[in-house]
Amino acid sequence: MTFSTAEHEAMRRALTLAATPAVPLGPNPRVGCVLLHDDGTTIAEGYHRGAGSPHAEVDALAAAGEWARGATAVVTLEPCNHTGRTGPCSQALIAAGVRRVVYAQADASPVARGGAEGLTRAGVDSEGGLCEQEARAINRAWTFAVDHRRPFVTWKFATTLDGRSAAADGTSRWVSGLAARRDTHRLRALCDVMLVGTNTIAVDDPLLTVRDDHDQPLPYQPMRVVMGERDLERARRVFGDAAETLHLRTRDPHAVLADLFVRGRQHVFLEGGPTLAGAFVQAGLVDEVVAYVAPMLLGSGRGAVGDLGITTIAEALRFTITDVALLGSGDSDPTVRLTMTPSKES
């Protein structure tokens, strides 16, 4: 693969555009596009602003107008070959007279892939793989969902030093400090599903929304999903109109993820109690763990996860720490956030 210096620089800019914070999460990936003259200068740029809006390539082409003819399109994802709410980007590039297309990540989606092949058949020079890992990182959950045909699962929990998520009398507010709770809302906003079990709704009655530092709801709210066979009172706060709510009457984690994948959901934030967490862990369906560890001891009380059937240390499930952060060091409730992924040998 041979890419020019201008194409490298344009791809870095396209990655920045793809990661624009204002873009809402949704079923589509984040994509950026930059159009270049033959001399390497930028003609126009664009990015995808969410489901139903023009894709990044079309956004850039609209800004370029006739200047797009003979240009090089540098895009973070292989142009799609799919007609949905919008037309195929590969055909839009061909119609605009683009001479060359450089993309980072191949599109593995069964409904959208094949754009590069279509470009080549039309005589457009097409080459992929430039900054591929960076592009995959921006669309981590989307890429995982496409590759594995299920949503990525992040399990979040708060615990004391001795592994308790609640005291013996059931009280759990607040195991973690204010900074940790704000950080949890930041992570919630990166997902499109918040998942709990029926017991959490019946006992804790959480609102399960994403809120800012002033406890105000954000414009975008992930879907609230409750799994379990138990009937729940409709007066529970999760059934209010603050966000969309779905009750899946099953205890099978595989069935839940399959249902959510069909609904176009890609990242599940698992916030249920120890029974639900244990079910997902035992099923091998936890892809990331975020643990908030508070510097306190309870001695007894509810554990963070239920029985996993492990009877000896040799059978322990092990995790690789990918990030450690101290939150709220200046207040009275500091918390350590550990981010982990399952170890391959587990």
Residues taking part in catalysis = 57
- Cα separation, 75 vs 31, whole angstroms: 7
**Separation in Å, CA 333 to CA 160, 163, 309:** 12, 17, 34
Residue 55 neighbours by CB distance under 10 Å: 28
Cα dihedral 245, 249, 251, 255, rounded to 10, equals -80
Beta strand 245-248 pairing with 100-105: unpaired
Reading the block at residue 311, the tokens are 């009877």
CA distance 260 to 309: 28
Q: Which residues pair with 194 in a beta bridge?
A: 224, 269
316-323: list long-range contacts, CB under 8 Å, 24+ apart.
316/346, 317/281, 317/342, 317/346, 318/342, 318/343, 318/345, 318/346, 319/289, 319/343, 319/346
Give the residues across from 268 on adjacent strands: 153, 193
Count of other CB atoms within 10 angstroms of residue 240: 14
The answer to whether 237 and 230 are in contact (CB under 8 A) is no
Residue by residue, DSSP assigns 100-164 as EEEEEE----TTT--HHHHHHHTT-EEEE-TTHHHHHHHTHHHHHHHHHSS-EEEEEEEEETTSE
CB 292 within 8 A of CB 165: no
256 contact partners, CB below 8 Å, separation of at least 6: 195, 225, 227, 248, 250
Q: What's the distance, Cα to Cα, between the start and end of the chain in Å? A: 37
Q: Which two tokens stand for residue 92?
A: 């839009």
